[in-house]
Amino acid sequence: MQSLRLIGTMLILLVGFSLASAQLKSQEQRALPTQVPKHDAILVGTAWYPEQWPESRWEQDLKLMEVANIKVVRIAEFSWSRLEPLEGHYDLDWLERAVAAAAKHHIVSVLGTPTATPPAWLTQKYPEILREEPDGRRVTHGNRAHASSTSPLYREYCRKIAGEMAKRFGHNPEVAGWQIDNEYGYALMSYDDATQKKFQEWLKSKYRTLEILNALWTTAYWSETYDNWNEIPIPVGGHNPGLQLEWKRFVTDAWNDYQMNQIAVIRKYADARQFITGNLMGFFDGFDHYVITEPLTFASWDDYVGSGHLDPDFNGLAHDLTRGFKRENFWVMETQPGAVNWAGINNFLNKGEVRAMAWQAIAHGADEIGYWQWRSALNGQEQYHGTLLGADGTPVPIYKEVSQIGQEFSKAQEAFRGTTVRSQVALLYSYDSHWAIQFQKHTQKYDDIAMLKSYYRALRKLSQSVDVISAKASLDGYKLVVAPNLNVLPKDVAENLLNYVRNGGHLVLGPRSGLKDEHNELLVQRQPGYLMAALGGRVEQYYALEKDFSVSGEWGTGQASVWAEQLNALNPGTQVLMRYGKNNGWLDDQPAVISRAYGKGKITYIGTILDEKLMKTAAEWMVKESGVGPAFASVPDGIEVSVRSGPGKSAFVLINFAPESQNVDFGKRMKMLLSDRQGESVELAPYGVEVLQAP
């Protein structure tokens, strides 16, 4: 009996051990979808338009790319008129030759479906596929994003061209993956009758009856009551908030269906190995990016500074937002080689800034950085845009900096293989909340993205790593979750947050939280709605501020601006951390920040917008209360430090965004991968970068 038990225990241990090691192995072997098999883990790429040049020139271009350590080309995304010069006459041979020519130079291709630019024969034959503007005018041919994404006829042509490409390239080993369309037509919609009808049908399938819709949108207000589905307009501003929010969701679904039409046909013909992505645009808010990225293998985005210079906080935040769409590494499909052509002032980034920007992307979880574009078309709308080659076909000065980036990526790439960013702190973002605030800002000064950035900046400085994720995502494992603007807070999302707190998390809410439900309807509870009981407190009244007010308490004394909520601590266990000073009478000495232990965790509500100094002390309090520590070590202001980790390894990226040289102490001996040495500190010049690994 005894020995049987012993054998049993040994068996359990053995099974347990082999399960654990199998798990470890699968973790170790988990290839990231953003890292192309058999290629470097991090890559430099460029947007190349072989269709714009004689084939005799390709070889020279590709040689120059190879010399610059460029290892990816994204091609074909605007080349429909070359791929299908006449209806049904496909010419993909040139593209196949371009892919093969690139491969000879160890350059892998990503194919863009050309659906942002339907050819003239198509728009002439079927002018009804052209978008209609809100004023009823049809857009003309000759630009891009000119087709209606909801047109079944247009989608049919998109499906055909994407299908032909997938049949030809779906098994091509030199094609790593696909990009659907280009920037999803900036989410522009056609305001034609067919789209309006679709929207009405979409509402019908969602709400089922007009009684329900009328009730949830409170259409008794201003005689908006609908007796027939076909009476419902497309909102063009100034409409009912319920209608406006549903339109945004409809736009999201429309673009999702638009991409699914192409994804389905590519998946039908292509190897599973080929990824499918779409090039997004950071905080662009035309649709809900959590929905759009759902069917994609990974997210990618186009990172442009425009006028001025890199704002490392904002850009880091946008990277982290993109990483959070799928909680997965991502690509920077496009970025500027110095300057753009579309901003107010198209200044060139400083020497070294493009390199710092590339490393910042890698540090935040990108695995490819693609420069837009290789060489300017001699004619066309973007003649002044930054490029790597001049019109004469030889390198311009930035080519050298990009070559250096490529060289450094090759050198350090192994440290990044299988690694991603994992944070103890999450910031929550919600398109519904963002839109709801945009529809009714109440004060023109309210900028929810700027607020997100102010929390991000203060928290990231301390924790050195922040995730930005959907309010609906699982919050397991985070020590601190901060939701600066969760204006739309329906019951299921509130439940997600409450569970997190019950299990020991610290949730911090900002102003305007929990005012509305998923229909953009005011909740009948006071703010923060379904979280009021757990907080043991509520908002008595909100005030748009004409001028700054003083606020003081646990976090020091400073200014509250733009928005102030008069809070009330109803539960004896609810602490008041900050109070407003003397100001409009209503807010005098009233609570501005309250906090309460709940379950195993804590909820804190901040009812106003704090100045930078107070935000800093608030963040210090938040990380201390939540047990969050720095991911690396304390570093001087202006140094951005980031960590990417994978099974058994971590890589640290240090970038100096300060205008002067700075010394960074590691507190221990580290390998410096870019300068090939070991040591305990490094001196970084402005825009200086170093990559560290444990020796």
Q: Is the Cβ of residue 145 or residue 488 nearer to ligand GAL in the bound state?
A: 145
Distances (CA, A) of 348 to 14, 334, 387, 394, 414: 62, 16, 11, 19, 32
**What one-character DSSP code corresponds to residue 522?**
B
Q: Is the Cβ of residue 276 or residue 340 nearer to ligand GAL in the bound state?
A: 340
Q: Is the Cβ of residue 110 or residue 427 nearer to ligand GAL in the bound state?
A: 110
Closest separation in Å from C-beta 307 to ligand GAL: 12
Whether 334 is catalytic:
yes
The interface mask with ligand GAL, positions 581-620, x = CB under 6 A, is ----------------------------------------
**∠ CA(103), CA(109), CA(112), 5° rounding?**
155
Q: Which segment (35-43, 310-318, 334-342, 399-407) binds ligand GAL by CB under 6 A? A: 334-342
- Residue pair 531/567 in contact by the 8 Å Cβ criterion: no
Q: Which position among 77, 132, 164, 183 bears the catalytic label?
A: 183
Closest separation in Å from C-beta 253 to ligand GAL: 23
Q: Is the Cβ of residue 121 or residue 304 nearer to ligand GAL in the bound state?
A: 304
Strand, coil or helix: 504: coil
Closest separation in Å from C-beta 103 to ligand GAL: 24
Whether 156 is catalytic:
no
Strand, coil or helix: 80: helix
Strand, coil or helix: 259: helix
Q: Minimal CB distance to ligand GAL: which residue?
A: 340
Closest CA to 574 of 536, 626, 532: 536
> Binder to ligand GAL among 94, 202, 304, 621 (CB under 6 A)?
304
Backbone angles phi, psi at 99, to 5 degrees: -65, -45
Q: Is the Cβ of residue 385 or residue 479 nearer to ligand GAL in the bound state?
A: 385
Backbone angles phi, psi at 656, to 5 degrees: -95, 105
Asked whether position 182 contacts ligand GAL by CB under 6 A, the answer is yes
User: Which distant-in-sequence residues (6+ apart) come within 8 Å of 239 by Cβ?
Assistant: 233
Give the pair of three-digit tokens for residue 503: 């299990």
Closest separation in Å from C-beta 342 to ligand GAL: 6
Across 148-171, b (16+ Cβ under 10 Å) vs e yields bbbbeebbebbbebbbbbbbbbbe
The interface mask with ligand GAL, positions 154-173, x = CB under 6 A, is --------------------
Closest separation in Å from C-beta 47 to ligand GAL: 7
Closest separation in Å from C-beta 304 to ligand GAL: 5
Strand, coil or helix: 111: strand
Asked whether position 313 contacts ligand GAL by CB under 6 A, the answer is no
Distances (CA, A) of 453 to 11, 152, 318, 425, 583: 53, 40, 9, 14, 27
> Binder to ligand GAL among 44, 72, 340, 615 (CB under 6 A)?
340
Q: Is the Cβ of residue 302 or residue 328 nearer to ligand GAL in the bound state?
A: 302
Residue identified by tokens 């010049």 is: 685
The interface mask with ligand GAL, positions 383-412, x = CB under 6 A, is --x---------------------------
Q: Is the Cβ of residue 49 or residue 456 nearer to ligand GAL in the bound state?
A: 49
CA gap 240, 520 in Å, rounded: 9
Positions 243 through 302 that interact with ligand GAL (CB under 6 A): 302
Closest separation in Å from C-beta 77 to ligand GAL: 7
Q: Is the Cβ of residue 336 or residue 470 nearer to ligand GAL in the bound state?
A: 336
CA gap 484, 456 in Å, rounded: 10
Asked whether position 334 contacts ligand GAL by CB under 6 A, the answer is yes
- Residue pair 539/526 in contact by the 8 Å Cβ criterion: yes
Query: How many Cβ atoms sit within 10 Å of the Cβ of residue 201?
Result: 12
CA gap 70, 40 in Å, rounded: 11
Closest separation in Å from C-beta 78 to ligand GAL: 7
Strands 662-672 and 279-280, bridge-based pairing: unpaired
Q: Is the Cβ of residue 129 or residue 145 nearer to ligand GAL in the bound state?
A: 145
Closest separation in Å from C-beta 340 to ligand GAL: 5
CA atoms within 13 A on the CB side of 301: 29
Q: Is the Cβ of residue 277 or residue 574 nearer to ligand GAL in the bound state?
A: 277
Asked whether position 40 contacts ligand GAL by CB under 6 A, the answer is no
- The size of the interface with ligand GAL (CB under 6 A), counted in residues, is 10
Closest separation in Å from C-beta 281 to ligand GAL: 7
Closest CA to 693 of 666, 665, 667, 671: 671
Q: Is the Cβ of residue 279 or residue 419 nearer to ligand GAL in the bound state?
A: 279
The interface mask with ligand GAL, positions 348-387, x = CB under 6 A, is ------------------------x---------x--x--
Distances (CA, A) of 680 to 461, 470, 666: 21, 38, 5
Closest separation in Å from C-beta 306 to ligand GAL: 9
Strand, coil or helix: 646: strand
> Binder to ligand GAL among 183, 367, 432, 517 (CB under 6 A)?
183
Closest CA to 496 of 523, 511, 478, 516: 478
Q: Which position among 328, 334, 368, 640 bears the catalytic label?
A: 334
User: Which distant-in-sequence residues (6+ apart) come within 8 Å of 567 by Cβ?
Assistant: 537, 538, 539, 540, 576, 590, 591, 592, 593, 594, 605, 607
Active site (catalytic) residues: 183, 334
Which stretches of the chain bind ligand GAL, using CB under 6 A?
182-183, 302, 304, 334, 340, 342, 372, 382, 385
